[in-house]
Amino acid sequence: MSAFKVNIVLFGIGNVGSTLINQVLFSQKQFAEKKNIDLSFKVITNSTLAFFEKTKLQNEWEADFKQFAIPFQVPDIIDYIQEQKLENLIFVDATASLELVQTYPLWIKNGFNIVAANKKANTQDFHFYQQLRSLLKVYDKTFLYETNVGAGLPVVQTIRDLHNAGEQITKIRGVFSGSLSYIFNRFSAEDVSFSTILKDAEKKGYTEPDSREDLSGNDVARKLLILAREVDEQFEFTDIDITSLLVPELTDNISKQGYAIQKTALDKPFEIAKKAQKPNHALRYIGELDLIDKKAVVKLISTPQNTALGQLKGADNLIEIYTKSYGEIPIVIQGAGAGNQVTARGVLSDILKIAEKLKFLEPVVV
């Protein structure tokens, strides 16, 4: 019996997208043998070009993309999928594009399930958020986005499961940014300037393409917003109190090139904050969602080094989930919160969840 074929359209072949393709190709035989699933990338795109896999890959996928990719519009891809009469469809968004998010309803209406590393669909105004969920119900499609919070960690699923089981979640708190975890873990432990560590984080691919997005606190705030909405709170982004890490001279008023040159402006204020701490303390940038008082904050704190937050290493995230049943002892989820490999693996895990669901729903031929 041939493996159950799942057809994927992938938008975004940057760090996460390209890693995802390579992970699938590497594990394809395993998926076929152990899960009876064949994951097939039918269309692969970057921001301007698309490669339509009319035949099996002839070379390495990068070479095929370079040779055969052509300019496209979203309707071109949907037309191609319909012409080929392809089923079991998953649209994967590995971009950071707001424009692409606006096309999600079109994908759903044309038979696609969605997996997104892109956070923007879940952080638009609540009206769009609700409309998208309503559309998913009407067309009986699945939308998974585990990597929106915590890269490959099971944060969204855990909170969703607790909430759906009737558990009252009272507070969610922790370090939600792998990039800022890496920066402050090193800065607290080493005698190195803040800007030097920031540049290292950028080189490792931990930060957003413009690291001001991390330092502004907006990325952490978006994650809090996503989790608040998972427990049916109608939060908007503007409801979150954000303390930015940026100094005035490094705001969006200067170009990305200007920002790259002037990062050393961050060194003095953070060195002062470091020295002003009590002994045996460490700086951590946290998000906190209080579901009793309906408040969300993003801020820099100083915490004892012997606490869970104070002992963080590398680029780990640490999320504490406080609930009525568990009382003062939180559920703790900790692990790598940044990196192309773990994020791509999280996306792949979501793809496989949908693939298993599609396989289960496949009509039985008697």
DSSP letters for 30-48: HIIIII-EEEEEEEEE-SS
For the cut 60, the answer to whether the pLDDT of residue 212 exceeds it is yes
Q: Using pLDDT thresholds of 50, 70 and 90, give the confidence band for residue 363.
A: low
**Does the reported pTM lie above 0.75?**
yes
At 331, is the pLDDT very low, low, confident or very high (cuts 50, 70, 90)? very high
| Cβ atoms of residues 41 and 53 within 8 Å | yes
Considering the chain, what percentage of its residues have pLDDT values greater than 90?
84
Domain residue ranges in the chain: 4-151+342-361, 155-337
Residue 79: what pLDDT? 96
DSSP 298: E
**How many residues belong to the chain?**
366
In this predicted structure, what is the pLDDT of residue 57? 54
- C-alpha triplet 360, 361, 366: angle, nearest 5°: 90
pLDDT recorded at residue 239: 97
223 as an active site residue: the answer is yes
Task: Using alpha carbons, select from 156, 102, 118, 135 the residue that is nearest to residue 10.
Answer: 118
More confident position, 323 or 362: 323
Distance between CA atoms of residues 75 and 359, nearest Å: 27
Give the Cα separation of 357 and 347 in Å (integer): 16
pLDDT band at 152 (very low <50, low <70, confident <90, very high): confident
The first and second tokens of residue 154, run together, are: 């099971």
Count CB-CB contacts under 10 A for residue 33. 10
Structure confidence by residue, pLDDT tens digits, 46-103: 999 999 986 555 558 998 899 889 999 999 999 999 999 999 999 999 999 999 999 9
What fold characterizes domain 4-151+342-361?
Rossmann fold (3.40.50)
Q: What is the mean pLDDT of residues 233-249?
A: 95
CB 341 within 8 A of CB 16: no
Mention the CATH class of domain 155-337: alpha beta
16-30, 50-64, 142-156, 216-230 — which is least confidently predicted?
50-64
Residue 79: which H helix or E strand, with range?
helix 74-83
Q: Which of 42, 120, 141, 223 is catalytic?
A: 223
Look at residue 366 and tell me whether its pLDDT is greater than 60. Answer: no
Nearest of 59, 62, 53 to residue 13 by alpha carbon: 62
pLDDT tens, 255-269?
888 998 999 999 999
